Amino acid sequence: MTGRGTAAPTRAAPRPSKAARVWHALFTAHPARTVVTGFAAVILIGTALLALPVASADGASAGLVTALFTATSAVCVTGLVVVDTSGYWSGFGEGVILGLFQVGGFGIMTMASLLGLLISGKLRLRMQLTAQAETKSLGIGDVRKVLLGVAGCTVAVELAVGAALALRLWSGYGEGPRNAVYLGFFHAVSAFNNAGFGLRADSLTAYARDPYVTLPVAVAVILGGIGFPVLLELLRHGSRRRHTGRRGWSLHLRLTVITTAVLLALGTALTCALEWANDGTLGHFDWPGKLLAGFFHSAMSRTAGFNSVDIGAMTDATLLLTCMLMFVGGGSAGTAGGIKVSTFAVLGAAMVAEVRGEPNSGVLGRKLAPHVLRQALTVALAGVGFVMSATLALLVVVDEPFEQVLFESVSAFGTVGLSTGITADLPTTGRLIVIVLMFVGRLGPVTLVSALALRERTRRYQLPEERPVIG
């Protein structure tokens, strides 16, 4: 019995089991960590499927490292391969690879959120936060629209480009209707997801001077790599302008579109200038063919991985230019990798402001918040650190020229897939290094670090200010 005013004893809540604590730590504690774990889980599933004997053309089981490398390259939409996609893998294997880079491009958590939306008609708060971390949407209330918009854009672009490619392959290259449709849609999905996987050993070099093949692929790559927020905002403002006549583009959209256009034009001009007389690449083309091939290479360097000329025959200057384009990458929250064009533009604006002696950085009539500058600097320096560390590790285990190893590292980090031809010759240790680099490059240094962090720490005091000597 208890006396008057004495509270009855309460039973302590049961302590969660070890399995429940592990599940919470890996999948529900932090949205960014959930994204990382989801990508890793799909890679493991893809590895298991590609290791099955039915996945290879000769019926023999692929080695574990080969299956893991291919699955990681597909999920991380990179396109680097250690075996020929069309020659080594069976139809089942090609289907698995297609599914992996479609899932990887769309986003593991974005797809899970969309499935939950379609089944239940609503999204839980945690699912919305997870989708927001993957899609970089601006508010929780926008997640439903973002998910449906991403799905709509994906289907529309892949169907349109796939149909165009299938029609061209059927009418211009004598492919049968069934094979033309398969080839067209495989390359369309690969292009929109910036995966770079092709069904020819020489990628798209056979179509280098055919604008009806290369231009649809380039358009799909640019649309997929520019970022879903940009595409969705363009669609919304296009509809709004038809009704109101106004066009109010956000800073992110303007920054992404302008920087993308400048890098595409600059990449095209420099590629053509550097390779104009190179008989191994553009030298034997007429001038329209050179411009087309130069533009295609510039677009693919923004992280698609298809090539219409021999990358290994390019000059060192062009390889360095390509490394720079691959490192910058495409737009945020798209299928491209790299540090992203918005990061590059923000760093450029900060440099201009410092040179001018201005206390604040601004771009396109808008002031940039200090935390944005810190984030951009963190992403860029983390990217440089990962690339340099991987290059150093690869130089230890392989006997290849420095410029080719550096190119391979930047291509893996930027999830591009372009290669000078050394990928298949990498030893097991080298392949594992590239696997880690592709995984880090797809998720982004900041996402990976935030996923590993247990909690955010806020300093409750300010340190004394002092200026060290710079330069």
Q: Are 433 and 393 in contact (CB under 8 A)?
A: yes
Instruction: Give me the half-sphere count of Cα atoms (radius 13 Å) on the Cβ side of residue 454.
Output: 0
Mean pLDDT of 127-133: 56
Mean pLDDT of 230-250: 66
Nearest to 127 by CA among 139, 147, 137, 112: 112
Cβ-count burial 149-163 (b if 16+ within 10 Å, e if not): bbbebbeebbebbbe
Angle between the 370-397 and 402-413 helix axes, to the nearest 10 degrees?
130
Q: Are 150 and 227 in contact (CB under 8 A)?
A: no
pLDDT of 1 over the 90 cut: no
Q: What is the pLDDT of residue 20?
A: 54
Q: pLDDT band at 87, cuts 50/70/90? A: confident
Q: Are 412 and 80 in contact (CB under 8 A)?
A: yes
Tens of pLDDT, residues 102-128: 998 887 556 545 444 544 455 555 555
Q: What is the pLDDT of residue 2?
A: 46
Any idea which of 93-107, 139-153, 386-400, 415-429 has the lowest mean pLDDT? Answer: 139-153
Tens of pLDDT, residues 272-296: 999 999 999 999 999 999 999 999 9
Task: Between 357 and 382, name the one with better pLDDT.
Answer: 382
pLDDT of 132 over the 60 cut: no
pLDDT of 4 over the 70 cut: no
Tens of pLDDT, residues 360-392: 777 777 888 777 888 888 889 989 999 999 999
Mean pLDDT of 331-354: 86
Is 0.95 surpassed by the pTM of this model? no
- The tokens for 239 are 């509809």
Please report, for residues 236, 239, 247, 330, the alpha-carbon distance to residue 243 in angstroms, rounded to integers and kept in the order given. 11, 7, 11, 31
pLDDT of 158 over the 90 cut: yes
Q: Are 415 and 441 in contact (CB under 8 A)?
A: yes
- Whole-angstrom distance, CA of residue 72 vs CA of residue 439: 7
- Whole-angstrom distance, CA of residue 187 vs CA of residue 193: 10
CA end-to-end span of the chain, whole Å?
78
Instruction: Give me the half-sphere count of Cα atoms (radius 13 Å) on the Cβ side of residue 392.
Output: 6
Give one DSSP letter per residue of 429-469, joined into a string: HHHHHHHHHHHHHHH-HHHHHHHH-SS----SS-PPP----
Task: Between 334 and 331, name the one with better pLDDT.
Answer: 331
Task: Between 216 and 10, name the one with better pLDDT.
Answer: 216
Angle at 392 between CA 389 and CA 394, to 5 degrees: 110
Dihedral, 426, 427, 432, 434 alpha carbons, nearest 10: -20
Task: Between 142 and 92, name the one with better pLDDT.
Answer: 92
pLDDT of 51 over the 60 cut: yes
Q: What is the pLDDT of residue 307?
A: 92
Q: pLDDT band at 31, cuts 50/70/90? A: low
- Whole-angstrom distance, CA of residue 70 vs CA of residue 73: 5
Q: What is the pLDDT of residue 452?
A: 47
Q: What is the pLDDT of residue 426?
A: 93
Task: Between 410 and 117, name the one with better pLDDT.
Answer: 410
Task: Between 335 and 299, name the one with better pLDDT.
Answer: 299
Mean pLDDT of 220-243: 76
Q: What is the pLDDT of residue 270?
A: 96
pLDDT of 191 over the 90 cut: yes
Tens of pLDDT, residues 257-268: 999 999 999 999
Q: pLDDT band at 211, cuts 50/70/90? A: very high
Q: Are 305 and 416 in contact (CB under 8 A)?
A: yes
Q: pLDDT band at 454, cuts 50/70/90? A: very low
Provide the percentage of residues in the chain whose pLDDT is more than 70.
79
Run of H or E residues at 362? strand 362-363
